[in-house]
């Protein structure tokens, strides 16, 4: 994407008798954005901005080189060049001195300088564009992208990506931590250089310091200024697409833990003193419910205990939407479980970006998405938050796993919801997921795909520090697929397979916890997948080379993507239940009257076969009822459903629903899933299946658990 960068002067730190002034030169080609306030904690800001600089220049990709011949050649070249330079310098100096002594200064020296300066910048821009096309890696080393600064009502935050595009850094500074001053809300690029980083080191706590995003650059006639610079560069599509992939990782289930500062100190201190010679080179997070986390440093096997909050578990099933805080969901581990979970994280040396801020950090929060998956490290520094988002491993940048969003649940975007969400965010600037859902009048499951679409277009961002969405335009215009560059090859190939209808499901089986197993073929390639109640991939197998190399860590392969598009996302989702109270007689989701004991309510002919997981007691009771009344299994199940539906709709939680049935029989479904299930194939009416799905969403339980609950409620003896 071609980006115009028009800067008036350079960003700099100026010192005077009254204190220091940290002035950022904004991009004049973007809408007016300015800020002027005094920092109350300049030392914290200095260390945090220095840590952000470490993220920008970070590049830990390994390149094996044989430098023996190069060093010998370099030594000879240096010696020859030194001798030649000394000879030519002396000769040139004598010639120039002779000219200056006899001739006056050129008449149009200033004009010649401007003409040659323009010629230089034109050649530099053409060179940068050619380098970006032919050697993107070298381009990112030599032409780093300027940080993005956003002035919001409550914070001012800076964003950047590392050179290898595997690490994302964000420094957020609360507005309350500064003196009241002028501010113009919005997002812009700021001029950032190595010289500015050196100036940061001069900030001191005993000198007042002002943070200034200069507003005067928008008010003067900058074309006549000597320090006005105009540059045009082509931003790499991977840099832009990385912002969207960061939001794709946000929609995946995660574990949230607290890591003490001394634990991070121990990790960095050991890595600083030791270099691993063999694998594995991972950090292992050992999580046991009821105990504090333990971090294992491989390959040495060093255990670092985290003395702090214990691992708590909500006991929420895997299919439960919004089980965790914000847009995150908790891992599906039961409260009574003592099974230890291990999550491995690679690319740990990128954590050295936190070294500068550790002396000032109060606590560190870590979001773990799974082994080999991205991780989010949030350092709280009082009125500031430093967020470091790391991809799965160092060589895996945020865009190489181009289909991370395909790991999550169905991403069917509603254009009207997307437009409404954009308007609300633009108006309020910041809002939590719950507040957005309430303002728009839709459920979080419908809103999340729209928010992810806005994030991919660069119009919104998820703030990990406060668990809220913010309005932030990374570019002046919404980013289209043409701007972001071609899709990931696996994603494009998966879409093609789905469009050509070359996906054949060989077997579909219901599993415990609302999960389903699919055994299928896509383009004659055999594969298997386990998906949860939301349609998100939990486990998978495939015989293709892409899956063999990275499993699900870099996103699903083309064959799994084809299954998701052709089968999992084929049927539209059931609309959510708006209220938890009993539905009125005219509501289409509930029967108009109590069902007759002689049979289910009258419905149309539409039916669909469904595999349901039942407890042994419920299954035997269903068969006994069917034999006693000489009816089919599906018919007696529908009868029980009609008898219990309105009573279950009247409760507000799963615990209250369990009180409607016998406590002894309800133990097998108390954790919102079915323990020791047995499968039964039923031919149920589509309206019944829709009602089952609605109640499952309302109570955050698996559909099979809801069916068992309805049978127990209907059959409970008074």
Report the distance separating Cα 212 and Cα 663, nearest Å: 64
Q: What is the mean pLDDT of the chain?
A: 75
Per-residue pLDDT, 232: 44
**Closest listed residue to residue 324, CA positions, set 467, 471, 447:** 467
Do 281 and 218 sit in the same domain of this protein?
no
Strand partners, 211: 22, 37
Percent of the chain clearing pLDDT 70 (strictly above): 69
DSSP code for 178: B
Mark whether 371 and 402 lie in a shared domain. Answer: yes
How confident is the model over 652-687, as pLDDT tens digits?
Answer: 888 888 888 888 888 888 878 887 788 787 888 888
Q: Which of 512, 543, 568 is the last residue of a domain?
A: 568
Whether 66 is covered by a domain: the verdict is no
Do 178 and 220 belong together in one domain? yes
Measured at the CA of 9, the angle between CA 183 and CA 145, to 5 degrees, comes to: 80
Are 195 and 51 found together in one domain? yes
- Is the domain of 397 the same as that of 308? yes
Per-residue pLDDT reduced to its tens digit, 23-35: 666 665 566 676 7
Output DSSP code: residue 148. E
Q: Are residues 301 and 361 in the same domain?
A: yes
* Between 575 and 45, the higher pLDDT residue: 45
Q: Does a structural domain hold residue 455?
A: no
- What backbone phi and psi angles, to 5 degrees, belong to 272? -70, -35
Q: Which of 408, 432, 466 is the last residue of a domain?
A: 408
Band of residue 634 on the pLDDT scale cut at 50, 70, 90: confident
Q: Look up the domain containing 689 and give its range.
A: 607-715
CATH code of 198's domain: 3.10.150
* Of residues 688 and 16, more confidently modeled: 688
pTM > 0.75: yes or no: no
Residue 677, pLDDT score = 80
Same domain, 154 and 187: yes
Same domain, 52 and 198: yes
Does residue 667 belong to any structural domain of this protein? yes
What distance in Å separates the CA atoms of residue 467 and residue 328, rounded to the nearest whole number? Answer: 9
Could you read off the pLDDT of 315-329 as tens digits, one per residue?
Answer: 332 233 333 333 333
Has residue 413 been placed in a domain?
no
Mean pLDDT of 599-625: 76
Same domain, residue pair 279 and 402: yes
In the chain, the percentage of residues whose pLDDT exceeds 90 is 9
Task: Specify if 29 maps to a domain.
Answer: yes
Number of domains within the chain: 4
Between strands 148-151 and 155-161, the pairing is antiparallel
| Nearby residues of 346 by Cβ (< 8 Å), 6 or more positions away | 281, 282, 283, 372, 392, 393, 394
Domain boundary among 235, 263, 290: 235
The tokens describing 492, both together, are: 């494009």
In a domain, 630, yes or no: yes
| Band of pLDDT at residue 601, cut at 50, 70 and 90 | very low
Assess if residue 35 is contained within a domain: yes
- Residue 424 within any structural domain of the chain: no
What b/e string do you get for 167-206 counting C-beta neighbours within 10 Å, with b at 16 or more? bbbbbbbbbebbeeeebbebbbbbbbeeebbebbeebeee
3-state per-residue secondary structure call for 16-67:
ECCEEEEEECECCCCCCCEEEEEECCHHHHHHHHHHHHHHHHCCCCCCCCCC
Lowest mean pLDDT among 79-83, 179-183, 293-297: 179-183
Q: Look at 380 and 233; give whichever has higher pLDDT.
A: 380
Q: Answer yes or no: are the C-beta atoms of 319 and 532 closer than 8 Å.
A: yes
Residue 216: which pLDDT band, with cuts at 50, 70 and 90?
Answer: low
- Give the pLDDT score at 45: 81
Give pLDDT tens digits for 502-548. 999 888 888 876 788 899 999 889 999 988 766 678 889 999 988 88
Under the banding of pLDDT at 50, 70 and 90, the label for residue 314 is very low
In this prediction, residue 589 has a pLDDT band, given cuts at 50, 70 and 90, of: very low
Whether 164 and 224 map to the same domain: the answer is yes
Q: What is the pLDDT of residue 233?
A: 45
């Amino acid at each position: 994407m071609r980006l115009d960068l028009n800067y008036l002067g350079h960003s700099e730190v100026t010192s005077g008798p009254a204190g220091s002034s940290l002035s950022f030169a904004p991009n004049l080609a973007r809408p007016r954005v300015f800020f002027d306030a005094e920092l109350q904690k300049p030392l914290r800001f200095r260390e945090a901005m220095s840590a952000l600089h470490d993220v920008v220049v970070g590049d830990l990709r390994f390149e094996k080189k044989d430098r023996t011949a190069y060093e010998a050649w370099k030594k000879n070249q240096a010696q020859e060049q030194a001798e030649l330079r000394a000879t030519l310098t002396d000769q040139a100096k004598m010639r120039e001195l002779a000219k200056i002594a006899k001739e006056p200064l050129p008449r149009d020296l200033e004009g010649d300088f401007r003409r040659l300066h323009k010629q230089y910048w034109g050649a530099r821009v053409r060179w940068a564009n050619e380098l970006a096309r032919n050697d993107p890696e070298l381009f990112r080393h030599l032409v780093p992208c300027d940080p993005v600064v956003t002035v919001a009502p409550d914070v001012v935050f800076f964003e950047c990506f590392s050179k290898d595009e595997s690490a994302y850094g964000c420094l957020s500074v609360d507005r309350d931590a500064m003196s009241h001053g002028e501010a113009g809300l919005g997002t812009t690029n700021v001029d950032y250089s190595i010289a500015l980083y050196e100036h940061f080191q001069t900030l001191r706590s005993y000198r007042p310091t002002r943070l200034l995003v200069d507003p005067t650059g928008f008010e003067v006639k900058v074309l006549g200024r000597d320090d006005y610079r105009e540059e045009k560069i082509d931003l790499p599509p991977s840099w832009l697409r990385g912002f969207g992939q960061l939001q794709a990782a946000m929609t995946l289930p995660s574990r949230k833990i607290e890591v003490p500062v001394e634990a991070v100190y121990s990790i960095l201190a050991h890595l600083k003193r030791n270099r691993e010679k063999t694998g594995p080179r991972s950090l292992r997070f050992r999580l046991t419910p009821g105990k504090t986390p333990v971090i294992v440093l491989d390959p040495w096997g060093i255990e670092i205990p985290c003395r702090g909050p214990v691992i708590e578990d909500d006991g929420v099933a895997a299919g439960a939407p919004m089980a965790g805080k914000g847009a995150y969901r908790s891992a599906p581990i039961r409260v009574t479980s003592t099974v230890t979970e291990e999550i491995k994280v690679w690319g740990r040396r990128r954590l050295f970006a936190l070294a500068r801020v550790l002396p000032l950090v109060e606590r560190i929060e870590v979001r773990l998405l799974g082994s080999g998956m991205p991780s989010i490290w949030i350092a709280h520094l009082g009125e500031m938050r430093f967020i470091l988002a790391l991809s799965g491993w160092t060589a895996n940048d945020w865009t190489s796993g181009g289909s991370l969003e395909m790991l999550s649940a169905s991403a069917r975007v509603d254009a009207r919801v997307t437009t409404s969400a954009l308007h609300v965010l633009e108006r309020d600037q910041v809002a939590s997921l719950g507040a957005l859902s309430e303002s728009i009048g839709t459920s979080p499951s419908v809103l999340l795909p729209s928010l992810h679409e806005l994030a991919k277009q660069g119009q919104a961002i998820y703030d990990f520090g406060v668990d809220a969405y913010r309005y932030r335009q990374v570019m002046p215009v919404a980013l289209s697929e043409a701007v972001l560059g071609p899709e990931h090859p696996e994603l494009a190939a998966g879409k093609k397979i789905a469009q050509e209808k070359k996906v054949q499901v060989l077997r579909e089986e219901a599993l415990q916890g609302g999960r389903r197993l699919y055994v299928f073929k896509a383009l004659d390639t055999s594969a298997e997948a386990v998906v949860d109640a939301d349609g998100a991939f939990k486990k998978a197998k495939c015989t293709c080379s892409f899956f063999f190399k990275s499993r699900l860590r870099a996103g699903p392969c083309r064959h799994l993507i084809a299954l998701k598009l052709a089968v999992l996302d084929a049927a539209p989702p059931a609309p959510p239940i708006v209220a938890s109270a009993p539905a009125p007689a005219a509501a289409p989701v509930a029967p108009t009257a109590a069902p007759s004991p002689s049979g289910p309510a009258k419905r149309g002919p539409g039916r669909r076969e469904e595999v349901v997981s039942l407890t042994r007691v419920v299954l035997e009771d269903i068969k006994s009822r069917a034999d006693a009344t000489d009816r089919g299994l599906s018919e007696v199940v529908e009868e029980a459903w009609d008898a219990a539906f309105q009573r279950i709709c009247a409760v507000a939680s799963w615990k209250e629903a369990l009180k409607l049935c016998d406590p002894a029989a309800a133990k097998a479904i108390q954790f919102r899933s079915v323990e020791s299930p047995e499968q039964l194939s039923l031919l149920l009416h589509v309206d019944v299946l829709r009602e089952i799905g609605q109640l499952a969403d309302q109570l955050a339980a698996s559909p099979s658990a809801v069916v068992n609950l309805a049978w127990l409620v209907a059959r409970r003896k008074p």
